[in-house]
Structure 1
Amino acid sequence: MNKKERIISGKTALGIELGSTRIKGVLIDLQGNVLGVGIHDWENSLIDNIWTYSLEEIHTGIQNCYASLKKAVQDTYGVTLQTVGSIGISAMMHGYMALDRDGNQLAPFQTWRNTNTQKAADELTELFDFNIPLRWTAAHLYQRILDGEEHTARLDYVSTLSAYIHRKLTGKRVIGIGDAAGMFPIDSDTCDYDATMLEKFNKLLEPYGFSWKAEEIFPKVLVAGEDAGALTPEGAAFLDVSGELKAGIPLCPPEGDAGTGMTATNSVAPRTGNVSAGTSTFAMIVLEKKLGRVYREIDMVTTPAGFPCAMSHANNGTSDLNAWVGLFGEFAELMGIKAAPGELFEKLYTESLKGDPICGGLLAYGYYSGENITMLNEGRLAFLRTPESRFSLANFMRVHLYTSLGAVKLGLDILMEDEKVKVERIMGHGGFFKTRGVGQRYLAAAVNAPVTVMDTASEGGAWGIALLAAYLIDRKPGEKLEEYLENRIFTGLSGETVMPDAKDTAGFQIFMERYKTGLSVEKAAIEAMNW
């Protein structure tokens, strides 16, 4: 059966991921091969000190993404896309989507980037003896209650973005366990919200007299492979505004971008790990046992199958780096040179390889927003150098690539050095690794371990959620997710492994010492720059 026949017969899976700067749809066959890609670019907005996307942006964005994919399939295969074998929805983890009984939005959608929940996160962490990061849904919910926001009395549904879209498509109030682990702590033994912590949370809220309990307004937790509903006629019309998409297509549990990143890099079994580097940067290490104590720098989440996983999540990744590349693009245009964005990134990233292992003594912070790992609730963009610094284009690019890994490296050090977590392989994916041999080399230096980037890495989480959708309909009886990925998807895929270079590793360590010392400058900038 050729690709066209697979599309016509529905021997396919569709994954759509709503990322921070791009909504991406990937259509695959049941062997994981990419058949078509659709893209819609977008950006979050800072409105009334809240990082958000409007419902209109969310709705039109996913519709435009699907239309882009549909056009790509039509142009490539001469086929009008009317059905697929299964669908999966993924989105940025964490955040706060609040709806009333009629499905109306009650408050602005708050993304993972918001750090306006310090009091709530601190109180819940102490109550649970479990780290509740500022961006988790539980922290957002409790902060809204502490702030006396009227809408909290009328809550009927609180979820992440992926679970919200999934409900629009299926009518089901469900969520994948990986994304659920960004809402509220998960008990990996029961694969559900932790019952003891739920009881404590509900008791904490008793004085407010709400008519709801947390488990009643949270979506139901599902693991990979479980039935999560099917596309309703209303859902089909919502996704494909042309009306040509047929209802009845099964959907896998909606997941967060961390879970899809693990899936896309075959990092769902203990002793495996991955680093997703883009607008935000996070490292996921699947554990064999629980950590020795609570760390505010480390999230405890799960894989899509329910294995416990330690997560070092940095709110800030490549946003500032991308802005600098855009500035260089403006300069090129001013000089009469037309350079495509992809070419700019490739040339500038590659130029960084000529830089010093210690970046010529330069220092940078790409803190567009607050950073939980370094305990800063606001962000300021900073580039620093001394008169003795070796200020060159190569060193400038190298320091901005290094600093994209800076905060996440602090969390990884806790896992590797303090907790002695064992990892047999680290996989990299995301835009940071798109230029071959650059970001991968710097990550290898940061973790002082081999780093592999698959040829599919640029497809990212949209490919990962498509694989979870394929697993829903094509797994063998009793076949575990890690077995399915290892034996049925990744056996035929190729990738490149980079070993750490001793000079790079030593240079990155020096950079990190300066990064930690220089945080006092970042703090001062936050205090001083209030305009």
Structure 2
Amino acid sequence: MSLYAGIDAGTQSIKLLVYDAQSRQVVATASAPLELISGADGSREQLASWWIDGVHACFAQLDASIRASIVAIAVSGQQHGFVPLGREGEVLAPVKLWCDTSSAHECQQIMQAVGGERRCIELAGNPILPGYTASKLPWTRHHRPEVYRDLAVILLPHDYLNFYLTGERFMEAGDASGTGWLDVRTRQWSPELLAATDPDRDLLQCLPPLVGPGTTFSIVPTIAAALGLSHAVRIAAGGGDNMMAAIGTGCVVPDRLSMSLGTSGTLFAYADRPVVDANGSWAAFCSSSGGWLPLICTMNCTVATETIARLFDFSVGQGEAMIGATSPGAAGLTLLPFFNGERTPNLPDARASMLGMDLRNVTPANCYRAAMEGATYTMKYGYDAFAAAGLEFDTIVLTGGGSKSAAWKQMIADIFDLPVEVPRQAEGAAFGAALQALWSQLRENGDGTTLPELVAQHAAIDLSLSIRPDPVRVDEYQMHYARFLRHLEAVRALDAA
């Protein structure tokens, strides 16, 4: 029996999924929680060692027979994180994460150095947004000068796990798109943006080589032994969590829209050409399958519902039951769920606001619905940019932890006025990584199956979980979404003041 594993290094946990391609069944899953270091300045950090501990904890949960049957692994990781390494491969500082907004000022400095936001988009396809890797380097230079002095290698979170597993330093174009330094049209580093980020150092010397889809590496024998794996295991290139979720949800062919409900919320669609917006309304990323992945990212998704549940001291499961006792619009409550600041819309310094409160509507159930609606409205705001550019979709494929919520699925169908489908494997990023590992190993052995062909065989939809819009609620939500937009514009004006 040959098994394939996907590791997903998220913000809240490390997840491990093991897939049997012959029976087309997931044979094992495991997870390990992660902590988050938060600062009042918008900083969000983790220790890279926590990820390593989490990987070991996950593999330790598997039966020895399953571990011994794994032949290939790929890693999915949260994007944009800045992992600074010294010359000996040592991690020099806590890792600044995708949801870290403390370097918003440095974003503006970099873009001004190349002639502004539009020039930045001309050079690389994307502006430098808070959370992107690029701004974290000048922040480090100013706030952690000893780290900057000793910096030899820049890696992303999934790159670092690959480095741990293989001893090799490399990146791939999908995850590298999120640094802000990659010209997504050519899949090459932008010399102008590297120089604008640090005019005194050749950053190209700090960046590892870029490898293409299907590349594999050997596992370090001592690491294989520690994890209970065969020394013959191959490590595929992996990618950012959104890129791996695209594979896991079948988003490797045009006209498919995927939505991921995790700590952040994302919308992404495969394209066979660069899809760049001159105004930077979406992230013009590369995919990890040889194409491109126009993507909308919000920084506050399940974090919004979890925060409200914690505030009122109930579980997310109890909140799910409460939704049934409320109606669309949450009795007039609107939550702008910007607990981490926000990327879409670009409001890095914004904070969450509950609006429309009166003496009757402030109940735990209404507040929980307002959190779910607010997170969904924020993604709808991003989707409107896709629609304005002429991109059309007939279905949303849902993945991530929030996809397990029946109430949230129906809400998305009603707010977007689109049918919602859920893959049989709900953890799209970990499953996508396992499929990439499978395809890469087959390719290495001379099998000519293309990645879209392989994904079509394995990434099945669970038809029993499909949801269609309720026409009555579609009309109701249009009114409530308009209210959200009015509140958003008012808060945007306050944020700019």
Judged with a 3 Å threshold, the aligned counterparts in structure 2 of structure 1 residues 83 and 203 are, in CA distance, closer, same or farther, namely: same
CA contact (8 A) 2:270 2:292 kept: yes
CA contact (8 A) 1:443 1:451 kept: yes
Does 1:451 find its partner at 2:437? no
Q: Quote the residue 1:464 is aligned against.
A: 432
Looking at structure 2, the residues matched to 176 and 297 of structure 1 have their Cα atoms a distance apart, in angstroms, of 24
- Partner deviation per Cα, 1:119-165 (whole Å, 9 max, x = no partner): 33333345423322222212322444476835334322111100011
Aligned counterpart in structure 2 of residue 517 of structure 1, from 465, 468, 486:
486
Judged with a 3 Å threshold, the aligned counterparts in structure 2 of structure 1 residues 491 and 217 are, in CA distance, closer, same or farther, namely: same
Looking at structure 1, the residues matched to 179 and 223 of structure 2 have their Cα atoms a distance apart, in angstroms, of 24
Q: Quote the residue 1:336 is aligned against.
A: none
Looking at structure 1, the residues matched to 276 and 136 of structure 2 have their Cα atoms a distance apart, in angstroms, of 27
Aligned counterpart in structure 2 of residue 65 of structure 1, from 58, 63, 69:
58
Letter in 1 for 2:224: A
CA contact (8 A) 1:89 1:255 kept: yes
TM-score (norm 1): 0.83
Aligned counterpart in structure 1 of residue 323 of structure 2, from 320, 330, 352:
352
Q: Quote the residue 1:373 is aligned against.
A: 344
Letter in 1 for 2:480: F
Q: Which moved more, 1:266-275 or 1:499-508?
A: 499-508
- Partner deviation per Cα, 1:297-330 (whole Å, 9 max, x = no partner): 41111221131221110111111311333455x4
Q: Quote the residue 1:236 is aligned against.
A: 224
Secondary structure at the counterpart of residue 182 of structure 1: helix
CA contact (8 A) 1:471 1:484 kept: yes
Aligned counterpart in structure 1 of residue 213 of structure 2, from 203, 224, 228:
224
- Partner deviation per Cα, 1:417-473 (whole Å, 9 max, x = no partner): x2011224320011112123x21111122322111112321x332122111111111
Following superposition of structure 1 onto structure 2, how do residues 205-220 of structure 1 map, counting pairs within 5 Å?
207-208=199-200, 210=201, 212-214=202-204, 216-220=205-209
Q: CA deviation at 1:358?
A: 2.2
Looking at structure 2, the residues matched to 430 and 275 of structure 1 have their Cα atoms a distance apart, in angstroms, of 8
Judged with a 3 Å threshold, the aligned counterparts in structure 2 of structure 1 residues 507 and 517 are, in CA distance, closer, same or farther, namely: same
Looking at structure 2, the residues matched to 206 and 370 of structure 1 have their Cα atoms a distance apart, in angstroms, of 26
Q: Quote the residue 2:390 is aligned against.
A: 420
Looking at structure 2, the residues matched to 407 and 461 of structure 1 have their Cα atoms a distance apart, in angstroms, of 22
CA contact (8 A) 1:178 1:304 kept: yes
Figure out how many residues of one structure are paired with residues of the other and give that number. 483
Looking at structure 2, the residues matched to 485 and 126 of structure 1 have their Cα atoms a distance apart, in angstroms, of 36
Secondary structure at the counterpart of residue 135 of structure 1: coil
Looking at structure 2, the residues matched to 292 and 207 of structure 1 have their Cα atoms a distance apart, in angstroms, of 27
- Partner deviation per Cα, 1:159-200 (whole Å, 9 max, x = no partner): 11000110011011122322121124545565x324xxx221
- Partner deviation per Cα, 1:282-311 (whole Å, 9 max, x = no partner): 111223554463234411112211312211
Does 1:111 find its partner at 2:90? no
Does 1:499 find its partner at 2:494? no
- Partner deviation per Cα, 1:180-234 (whole Å, 9 max, x = no partner): 21124545565x324xxx22134436741x2x332x322322333222x111123
Looking at structure 2, the residues matched to 491 and 55 of structure 1 have their Cα atoms a distance apart, in angstroms, of 34
Looking at structure 2, the residues matched to 320 and 518 of structure 1 have their Cα atoms a distance apart, in angstroms, of 17
Judged with a 3 Å threshold, the aligned counterparts in structure 2 of structure 1 residues 288 and 306 are, in CA distance, closer, same or farther, namely: closer
Looking at structure 2, the residues matched to 288 and 503 of structure 1 have their Cα atoms a distance apart, in angstroms, of 37
Does 1:135 find its partner at 2:131? yes
Aligned counterpart in structure 1 of residue 162 of structure 2, from 162, 166, 169:
166
Aligned counterpart in structure 1 of residue 284 of structure 2, from 295, 300, 306:
300
Q: Quote the residue 1:19 is aligned against.
A: 10
Does 1:254 find its partner at 2:246? no
- Partner deviation per Cα, 1:85-117 (whole Å, 9 max, x = no partner): 101111111121111111122332100011123
Following superposition of structure 1 onto structure 2, how do residues 403-442 of structure 1 map, counting pairs within 5 Å?
403-416=374-387, 418-436=388-406, 438-442=407-411
Which segments of 5 or more consecutive residues in structure 2 lack a partner in the other structure? 112-116
Looking at structure 2, the residues matched to 376 and 109 of structure 1 have their Cα atoms a distance apart, in angstroms, of 22
Judged with a 3 Å threshold, the aligned counterparts in structure 2 of structure 1 residues 478 and 379 are, in CA distance, closer, same or farther, namely: same
Looking at structure 2, the residues matched to 413 and 80 of structure 1 have their Cα atoms a distance apart, in angstroms, of 45
Aligned counterpart in structure 1 of residue 176 of structure 2, from 173, 177, 180:
180
Aligned counterpart in structure 1 of residue 459 of structure 2, from 490, 495, 502:
490
Letter in 2 for 1:232: V
Identity %: 22
CA contact (8 A) 2:420 2:468 kept: yes
- Partner deviation per Cα, 1:231-254 (whole Å, 9 max, x = no partner): 1123325x62xxx33323101112
Aligned counterpart in structure 2 of residue 201 of structure 1, from 170, 193, 215:
193
Which segments of 5 or more consecutive residues in structure 1 lack a partner in the other structure? 1-5, 332-340
Q: CA deviation at 1:389?
A: 6.3
Looking at structure 2, the residues matched to 252 and 485 of structure 1 have their Cα atoms a distance apart, in angstroms, of 16
Q: Quote the residue 1:99 is aligned against.
A: 85
CA contact (8 A) 2:277 2:284 kept: no
Q: CA deviation at 1:352?
A: 1.6
- Partner deviation per Cα, 1:361-391 (whole Å, 9 max, x = no partner): 1111332211122332235343333438645
TM-score (norm 2): 0.88
Following superposition of structure 1 onto structure 2, how do residues 308-327 of structure 1 map, counting pairs within 5 Å?
308-326=292-310
